[in-house]
Structure 1
């Protein structure tokens, strides 16, 4: 008998074909063996059915799609049974579970070739497969060709369009469908919510209530609550809450979670907590959401306390929980708590590939501990761009600009693609190190080498770089040639450089721009007044202060804090309320004598000119950061590093004074102000006085 040659799946060839000893990848067909094995197995879907039962769906699809070609090759087409609807259904279900679009299309194509006419159930499964695999064109084609449609057909199409944001197509089908159930309404409402169109979601929800209130279920009301939260409408949220209570939907945890979320986002954190406390089966998602709400509302202590309660509850926090708490630690510079969280993560064996690791790097960097940040970073098998960026920015802000630039070069060698935030860190490092030419080189490479668009932040960094270096003409030209309107950060960078170099003309221009953008910000007025004061222009200083008074702008008080033995101590300028104030006052008085012996001269340029010089020096002596540093020294053993945080930029005199204090007290003193970290040691600062 003459043999025929045909490429077929390996799975099939192992069953009913003999391989030749040639090196060819093709297989010789043995007709008698085919007739004996294949067609015996093919009775009532034989082999394909067997493979499906064994869970070998891919092999079954391979055989299905080769079956017709094989039969034609041996001229036995009339003896092959067409697969049944159950086989097609089973294979399509497998493709759906695996999101195997290519194989699904093969099965669909086979139904057409074999002459099989799919019924309503098979058509719905095809629509579901195409919709969930993102091939809505194919789903729509199947839908259009259907002679009969049911609710499932309509709902699957609407849900498919709504999930990918094609809300126009979804709404068109929704309006056309002859009958709607709760899935129809929910799919459309949740689609609007998911794609940030909450007002349309609420309009549709009201329409549903008018047509048939019984259609509401836990998913519908949860979506409506999410829409109310998005527009922060507490009134609408309360209306939906009332409906939930009347209809008995309040027994579901999904609804309770949505209610708590709505109250939290609408600013009613106490009501959100009350709802949270009523939840019987609180999962980690509910806990995490409530903890995050406290942090977002500025309630740091409550957020940390609830996290502590979660750890005692027996429910294991997930990476979202850890990331939220660690970001809060970073924001509040709560390194000790961050270390405790890190320890807990280590004990339970957290995944070093998770974004919680990135949050750890960020937390340590923001708390000024670049050693620990680097330790976590080097323990990550594959750091993502967020981790690289956090450490680069951390080095830049902690007076380690060269380490930041070295790390950036390692990032490039690793194959990781930097983003625009990465370059903000790189440009900041150049600014703090005074590397003007290097910074400009990096700026131009953003677009030319890395294909990224320049952002307003990049321009602000370059202006800061040029202004700090006193290259004001270049800075002005750079601003004039910008493709976008300068923002407040750029003008603030410019006026900061003018303060350093006493450029009054350009400072006025920057201040005028800032007065238009944010007239309520006291920092601009204070900086401008200080520039005038440095030049001895006290009449202008008076005018600035008068303008502040007329506009109702109040200077933000300087606030510094230090954590000693897990207790945070807060100081205001001239603050006498602390229990150990007398000790602090005496220590600073004695320290002042030693500092002057070492050559310290108080910088009274910015102090009110209409008071005696002695009073000026006294006022300077009790700035908040000096009080916090003094308290830290008298409250800790000799040699213990001191870490102080301040809400504003530290003043020139305090910066100079703390350099002397670090040498006299033989202490490492770290001060994080609103701009960066200053690490004082042996009379020097990590910023190299370039800040």
Structure 2
């Protein structure tokens, strides 16, 4: 009997050790080895299965995790919670919610998980509804989940209210509040809350260090780091990564060398720091010195080689890997895709036995970036489980390919849309010059309860700029002020551009002056705004001030300056500027710069010089674009040079065969020259090439709304209103111009 009990005890101990080994291998990313241990186990208990489910889920193999979960005949509450947690770890909130709904029993942790699920989705109202359904109101986990959810979304008042109402607070409660402040960059409130905390642990200190690192205040971060009573590996890695992120590699290495004990995470962080600084040789040297390497170590070096374009070395390291999990294979695929090796990436993808959603998304993203949307869609249809990233990637891909009808279809088919989904659609409309549709989508987004972020506002302002919709732009400005995004540089630059393109240069100047740290885009937006509105002197003044403040111009800067010269007729200044761009700033001219020069010379009547510039571009292997030929065509029309216009139009129509305005410009030139046969030929050519496919439309702001008018649109025709307006205009003209009858005037014109 004693021998039997001893045997059972030894077997239990052996199973326990194997379970621990599975967990350890999973943490190291060595999933295949963990699977091997699991498969060879003669005895498996429920802990074994739960551990393996967790390993699969935390390493991105969520399908394998679910398959193992489904095979379990007897499940305990830990099995259910582990699977839900796995879904959340992989950002699959819908699947997590579906599993929660069918759970036979729930504990406090189950409720905390599902509340976290909804807070991650941004559905705070739904999370609060679930919170009130929690049976155990004394459990801190659910309170902490709500506090963290509110704080992460910046709802500090709600988070603080819940924090104050908690019957029992623990360190997680305090750290959840603190994390909300630090992760939202509000370090003033964070420091105040941190100072008032009666008790602090290492997590509290680490949150503060990370918060200061995120806002770029390394001095404050280091001061706090030095005061941590017992720093752990997270403290050291946080500070090390902070140095690395801001280019302070020497300080990072000094900290690394002084660490009393280094785990694999510390080594990986230092290697990643070298790679981020493009010091691949130092990274490899450190990699070779590592006492123990995990999957992250190998993939970091592989990514480093890809980053500097050393594909052969990346392949060599990949082949040397003792184990290749999905993360490593996905990293290698991503590296190939970044280097435009799409077919090689596809080959590895096809050979993979199991793939997670990240791997599928990487491959789809590769296809979309190469414009191979049919391949991307085929892969998208094959995906066993799609997350929001999958759908959003397809929306962006179709938008970049100019297929907005398909992008809209994908968007409409989505069950759950997030802010990225809306932004992808709106940005797609902007990219394809469908600015009215962009604004309509922005309105729909708000009606469905989705709050815009800085990207949404920037896209909306871009649409207003292109439509010259000043009133709508002003309304957006008011929303930006209320939402707190006014200090976002991306949004400020969009405001400058919007006001400038709407002719409100003084408002653009005011926004620029109120910008604390103007960047190159800010200056370019202001200079382009001056150019567009004919303020050449102001554009050059801004350029000089920009140089004085130490901002280096780029090609966009000179496009704005050359455009200013063109609008002001400053031929000599424009030519000198073009020369200075090349000689003083080492900027290679693009087709856009030549287009400005051609426009400038054309306006001055120097067509031969303009044409010589175009001919000179060919010798320099610079391909003329539609804008350049359009500029030349416009100049030819002003100077009534029909022969050169015909040549420019031919090149223009090759680039834009379906653009009706090009045909109309050429047709009008022939009409002005009295060449009616040529007019008819152009009209016939336009119909044959499909130049009349898209009807022209106009728009006007009425009552803070944009009304569009498409030619020959029966829904917009109101004959009775037209007659009233015509009669009113006729009467007004007779009174003001002493015209006896408008019909006589029309006869004279005809």
Whether these two folds match at TM > 0.5 is yes
Give me the whole-angstrom Cα distance separating, in 1, the residues matched to 2:446 and 2:539.
36
**TM alignment of 1:113-262, pairs within 5 A:** 127-144=271-288, 150-162=294-306, 166-208=310-352, 212-213=353-354, 216-233=355-372, 236-245=375-384, 249-250=385-386, 254=389, 257-258=392-393
The CA deviation at 1:174 is 1.6
Matches within 5 A, 1:553-572: 553-554=691-692, 559-565=697-703, 566-570=705-709, 572=711
Q: Bigger CA drift: 260-269 or 379-388?
A: 260-269
Q: What secondary structure is seen at the aligned counterpart in 2 of 1:180? A: coil
Give distance in 1, aligned partners of 2:487 and 2:510: 12
User: Which whole-Å deviations, capped at 9, do the CAs of 1:206-244 have from their partners, x for residues lacking one?
Assistant: 221xxx22xx22322221232243345555445544554
Is 1:127–1:142's contact at 8 Å kept on the other side of the alignment?
yes
Cα separation, 2, equivalents of 1:235 and 1:134:
36
Q: For residues 635 and 652 of structure 2, what CA distance do their matches in structure 1 show?
A: 15
Match of 1:532 among 634, 652, 670: 670
Q: Find the aligned partners of 2:493 and 2:623 in 1 and give their Cα distance.
A: 33
Q: 1:458 aligns to what? A: 593
1:551-584 CA distances to partner (integer Å, 9 max, x unpaired)? 5654976543322122515264899813622223
Pair member with larger Rg: 1
TM superposition shift of 1:468: 1.5
Unaligned runs of 5+ residues in structure 2 are 1-204, 210-219
CA–CA distance in 1 between the matches of 2:663 and 2:612? 25
After TM superposition, give the deviation of residue 508 of structure 1 in Å: 3.5
Deviations 1:627-667 (A, max 9, x none): xxxxxxxxxxxxxxxxxxxxxxxxxxxxxxxxxxxxxxxxx
Cα gap change, 1:315/1:167 in structure 2, threshold over 3 Å: closer, same or farther? farther
Give the whole-Å Cα distance in 2 for the aligned partners of 1:514 and 1:259. Answer: 32
CA distance in 1, matches of 2:505, 2:221: 52
1:282-361 alignment to 2 at 5 Å? 282=418, 284-296=419-431, 300=435, 303-308=438-443, 310-311=445-446, 316-352=451-487, 354-361=489-496
CA contact (8 A) 2:499 2:505 kept: yes
Q: Displacement, 1:181?
A: 0.6
Q: CA deviation at 1:518?
A: 4.2
CA distance in 2, matches of 1:129, 1:166: 18
5 Å-filtered alignment, 1:538-557, equals 538-548=676-686, 553-554=691-692
> Within 1, Cα distance between the matches of 2:730 and 2:710?
17
CA contact (8 A) 2:380 2:390 kept: no
State the match for 2:250 in structure 1. Answer: 102
User: Superposed, which structure 2 residues align to 1:349-428 within 5 Å?
Assistant: 349-352=484-487, 354-428=489-563
- Partners of 1:319 and 1:572 lie apart in 2 by 35
* Aligned residue among 712, 727, 731 for 1:586: 727
Q: Which 5+ residue runs of structure 1 have no aligned equivalent?
A: 1-50, 63-85, 603-611, 619-691
Contact 2:236 2:266 in 1 (8 A): no
Give the conservation status (yes or no) of the 8 Å contact 1:222–1:259: no
Note the 1:500-515 alignment, pairs <5 A: 500-515=638-653
**Distance (whole Å) between structure 2 residues aligned to residue 57 and residue 531 of structure 1:** 68
Per-residue deviation, residues 8-55 of structure 1 (Å, max 9, x unmatched): xxxxxxxxxxxxxxxxxxxxxxxxxxxxxxxxxxxxxxxxxxx99x99
SS, match of residue 365 in structure 2: helix
Aligned residues of 1:559 and 1:573 also touching (Cα < 8 A) = no
Contact 2:391 2:410 (8 Å CA) reproduced? no
Cα contact 2:500–2:526 (8 A) shared by 1: yes
Give the match for residue 5 of structure 1: none
C-alpha displacement of 1:433: 2.1
Kept after mapping to 2: 8 A contact 1:165/1:195: yes
Contact preservation (8 Å) 2:697, 2:710: yes
Separation (CA, whole Å) in 1 of partners of 2:308 and 2:548: 36
Deviations along 1:282-306, whole A, 9 cap, x unmatched?
3x43443344345446665654344
Q: Is the 8 A contact 1:89 1:125 kept in 2?
A: no
Deviation at 1:162, TM superposition (A): 3.8
* Partners of 2:413 and 2:713 in 1: CA distance: 44
Contact map agreement 1:430 1:436 (CA 8 A) in 2 = yes
Cα shift at 1:590 = 3.9
Report if aligned partners of 1:353, 1:382 keep a CA contact under 8 Å in 2: no
* Cα gap change, 1:325 to 1:173, in 2 (>3 Å): same
CA distance in 2, matches of 1:503, 1:387: 40
Deviations 1:489-527 (A, max 9, x none): 333222222212222343344334435544554444433
Q: Using the TM superposition, give the Cα deviation of residue 345 of structure 1 relative to its aligned residue in structure 2, in angstroms.
A: 0.9
Q: Secondary structure at the match of 2:556?
A: helix
Q: Is the 8 A contact 2:240 2:256 kept in 1?
A: no
2-structure distance, mates of 1:151, 1:466: 61
Matched residues, number: 517
Residue matched to 1:577: 717
CA distance in 2, matches of 1:356, 1:368: 19
Q: 1:253 to 1:569 in 2, by over 3 A?
A: closer
How far, CA to CA, are the matches of 1:407 and 1:329 in structure 2?
24
Deviation at 1:430, TM superposition (A): 2.1
Give the conservation status (yes or no) of the 8 Å contact 2:299–2:332: no
Q: Is 1:269 the equivalent of 2:410?
A: no
Indicate the residue corresponding to 1:9 in structure 2: none
1:493 maps to 2:615:
no
8 Å contact kept, 2:454–2:488: no
Task: Rate the CA distance shift 1:400–1:551 in 2: closer, same or farther, 3 A.
Answer: same
Secondary structure of the 1:416 match is coil
Query: Greater share of helix residues, 1 or 2?
Result: 2
Q: CA deviation at 1:358?
A: 0.4
After superposition, the CA RMSD in angstroms is 4.4
> What is the Cα deviation at residue 359 of structure 1?
0.5
Contact 1:392 1:404 in 2 (8 A): yes
The 2-side partners of 1:545 and 1:57 are apart by 69
